[in-house]
Amino acid sequence: MKPEVFDIEDADIAWCPGCGNFSILSNLKIVLAELEIDPLELVLVSGIGQAGKFPHFLKSHTYNSLHGRALSPATAIKAVNKNLKVIVTTGDGDMYGEGGNHFMHTIRRNPNITCIVHDNMVYGLTKGQASPTTLQGMKTSYQTEGVSEEPFNPLAVAIALDASFVARTFSGDPEHMKKTFKSAINHKGYSLVDVFQPCVTFNKINTYQWFKENTYHLEDSHDPFNKNEAFKRATEKDKYPLGIFYKNNDKKTFEETLKVYTDNELPLYKRQVDMPKLVDLIESRRRL
């Protein structure tokens, strides 16, 4: 069963003309259709920001989280029903700023979810302040003298923490983006996809042309299972590589570590509460 989706031309779009979100949404919908993911088995979890508007344009289960907290409910949703396909859509500010701690500890847990980060190197919803990934020296509406901090490198951090899938793509390269999305969604474990995406209103430096001139595709010879090499490529700055940097297929997923599934594969939401056991547990806690 192919997912039922809205036609972008018929939808009330809340983004600026030329925004990279259009391409990300369009190609994600194509991927979901090609993978034949049932809308009833898909949960789209969103953060706060322009990327958080994605659930408005797909017919599936959705959960809109608090700022920076998308990964926590996504992990819980997958744990309660591990048969669901869970995709997080978020931005660089929401994920790497407000959600920084959740970003790191979700990597450690390794839930079987996909996290797509719309990285436009600026806070596009709140009038263009610098985000964690804004390049050094860029002047914004708030950092009028230029950003002084080194930009956060999400790929290097994810690889250092042994994330099971780490990739980067560009919204102006639809074929590469679709291929990357498919690989991430099909991967078993936590998948991070950082998407370079121009903000045409508030970021006049990192434009479509800038990304085309300052990125390149990882070579076919790149070994994504070589952690040291992957980390080295993630730290490149002269030009930014696009592709699958790192994979670790040997890690257990968070759901596989849960004792409730050791002898029973039935999703938690389908189980009945054992009231005598629950009462005994409550009473034993009271006696402590």
One-character DSSP codes across 198-267: --TTT-SSS-HHHHHHSEEEPPTT--TT-HHHHHHHHT--SSEEEEEEEE-TTSPPTGGG-GGGTS--S-
Here the tokens at position 147 are 């950003």
Q: Is the pLDDT of residue 127 over 50?
A: yes
The answer to whether residue 284 sits within a structural domain is no
Residue 72: give its domain's CATH number. 3.40.50.970
Q: Is the pLDDT of residue 1 over 60?
A: no
The answer to whether residue 264 sits within a structural domain is no
Q: Are 32 and 5 in contact (CB under 8 A)?
A: yes
CA distance 136 to 146: 7
Which of residues 1 and 212 earns the better pLDDT score? 212
CA distance 188 to 128: 36
The pLDDT score that the predictor gives to residue 67 is: 85
The pLDDT score that the predictor gives to residue 222 is: 97
CA distance 34 to 182: 9
Q: At residue 92, what are phi and psi to the nearest 5 degrees?
A: -65, -35
The answer to whether residue 40 sits within a structural domain is yes
CA distance 153 to 96: 9
The pLDDT score that the predictor gives to residue 6 is: 44
Q: Is the pLDDT of residue 185 over 60?
A: yes
Here the tokens at position 126 are 């709140």
Per residue in 131-153, pLDDT tens? 889 888 888 888 888 888 899 99
The amino acid that residue 16 corresponds to is: C
Domain count for the chain, please give it: 1
- % of the chain surpassing 70 pLDDT: 96
The pLDDT score that the predictor gives to residue 140 is: 84
CA distances from 270 to 83, 156, 254, 267 (A): 12, 39, 19, 6
The answer to whether residue 206 sits within a structural domain is yes
Q: Is the pLDDT of residue 50 over 90?
A: no
The answer to whether residue 269 sits within a structural domain is no
The pLDDT score that the predictor gives to residue 196 is: 97
The answer to whether residue 188 sits within a structural domain is yes
The answer to whether residue 24 sits within a structural domain is yes
Q: Is the pLDDT of residue 246 over 90?
A: yes
Q: At residue 83, what are phi and psi to the nearest 5 degrees?
A: -85, -10
Q: Is the pLDDT of residue 12 over 70?
A: no
Give the DSSP H or E segment for 72.
helix 71-80
CA distances from 123 to 1, 15, 93, 134, 275 (A): 37, 14, 6, 9, 48
CA distance 283 to 236: 57
For the packed helices 100-109 and 71-80, what is the interaxial angle rounded to 10 degrees? 30
Residue 138 backbone class (left: φ over 0; alpha: ψ -120 to 50; beta: rest): beta
Per residue in 110-123, pLDDT tens? 999 999 999 998 88
With CA atoms as reference, report the closest residue to 169 among 132, 139, 197.
Answer: 197
Q: At residue 258, what are phi and psi to the nearest 5 degrees?
A: -80, 125
Instruction: Say how many C-beta atoms besides its own lie within 10 A of residue 255's C-beta.
Output: 20
Q: Are 90 and 118 in contact (CB under 8 A)?
A: yes
pTM, rounded to two decimals: 0.89
132: containing domain: 8-257
Mean pLDDT of the chain: 90
Q: Is the pLDDT of residue 10 over 80?
A: no
Beta bridge partners of 192: 115, 166
Task: Please state the rounded mean pLDDT for residues 81-110.
Answer: 93
The answer to whether residue 172 sits within a structural domain is yes
CA distance 115 to 89: 6
Q: Is the pLDDT of residue 99 over 90?
A: no
